[in-house]
Amino acid sequence: MTDTTGTLDEALERLHANGPEFEGWLTNHAPMTVEALVRHGHAPRVHRWLDGYRHRLEDMPGRTGVRIDGADDASWRAALGDPSLLGDWIDHFTRALTERPWREVLVEWWPRLLPGITAGATHPVIRAGHAVRTLLDGETVDDGSAGDGSAPRVAELGHALGYWAARYQPLPMPVAASGTAGIGAALAGMPDVTDEPLGIRARFALLPETAGWPAAANALRPPAGPDEVPGMLAELVRETVLRYGERAHGSPVMLVHSATAPNAVLRTLPALPRELWVPSFHAAWEAAASVTAAYPAPGPLKPAAGAPATADEAFARAAEHGDAHAIKFTDTAVDVATADPEAAAGALAATVRAFELISPEDA
């Protein structure tokens, strides 16, 4: 993506005065949404969209005075997962990214943060994936630096990583794919956590007492090595997008993350050394499996009518709809449609569920 308008950098600069959350722990979706809008040719909508969204947002939380030292194992581990340190964590990454290339910082922290991939309802890793995508677009040299106008994009990575570190929280019963099942079959075999009206953190807390967890998630065949990871991640994203088309009514907003979280990992993969690829797949699977289990649907929906004919049409409809989750899901569905022509029709049809079932006020 070449943003000749400068809109993305302007929008990110506006947003970096705001915190990553509001009203306690609701996520600020704006940085991810504006990146997707610009990427798909809808830069003229960005500032108007922001004007309508920013009333929800809160100022960047202040620092407490705790100084986090990434080189001191005891220092950063003591601060990990403490949301009262949001401002301190973002300050830490902001400083780190002014002192070192962004790839170097990412590679250092990615394995530290991966075990907490479900933190913040998976929003931190999704935000990081959008940030890395823009940085990879702008690279000009091999040392990990980026092209003109990249300072707000580097800062955006710092905000994403700081959010992730502050909200870091592993699942109460993690999974370790070690079986023989394919991705589609493994997703279909996820147990139902609950149909009670509970938030995602409460649902994840119920996983240890849910019959069949983590055995169902562990039944997945893991990648044999790094060479298999890109293809298996792409398959995971494809299967979760297609499944959304049938099961979105389980929770049309929250089930978006079963696809967008693993896609964030897939987008980040090119910036990571190969030795981190297999752990990245395992984390992506944990995110997709846990969200799938957390939001069961009573049965499959009939195929959606009136599906977009092209990826451009799908995203134009998402932009017109205006909801952040609809926009981000469509952004991921378009990735699937572009990469896999055989899955394109199903992926674009799945976007209709987001347009039908998500209210624009749910952004």
Domain ranges within the chain, ordered by starting residue: 7-167, 173-363
Give percent of the chain above pLDDT 90: 90
The answer, yes or no, to whether residue 113 has pLDDT greater than 80, is yes
The string of DSSP letters for 241-272 reads HHHHHHHGGG-TTGGGHHHHHHHHHHHHGGGS
Instruction: At 22, give phi and psi (nearest 5°).
Output: -150, 160
Q: What is the pLDDT of residue 321?
A: 97
Whole-number Å distance between alpha carbons of 263 and 238: 9
Q: What is the pLDDT of residues 252-299, one digit of tens each?
A: 999 999 999 999 999 999 999 999 999 999 999 999 999 999 999 988
143 has pLDDT over 80 = no
Q: How confident is the model at residue 148 (pLDDT cuts 50, 70, 90)?
A: very low
Exposure letters 106-137 (e unless 16+ CB within 10 A, then b): bbebbebbbbbbbbbbbbbbbbbbbbbbbbbb
**Residue whose structure tokens are 């984390």:** 283
- Residue 139, strand partner residues: 146
What pLDDT does 147 receive? 42
What confidence tier does 195 reach under pLDDT thresholds 50, 70, 90?
A: confident
Q: Is the pLDDT of residue 361 over 80?
A: no
Distance CA 265, CA 126 (A): 8
Q: The tokens of 143 are what?
A: 């040392």
Is residue 235 within 8 A of residue 264, CB to CB? The reply is no
What pairs with residue 22 in β-bridges?
A: 26
Angle between helices 229-247 and 277-294 (to 10 degrees): 10
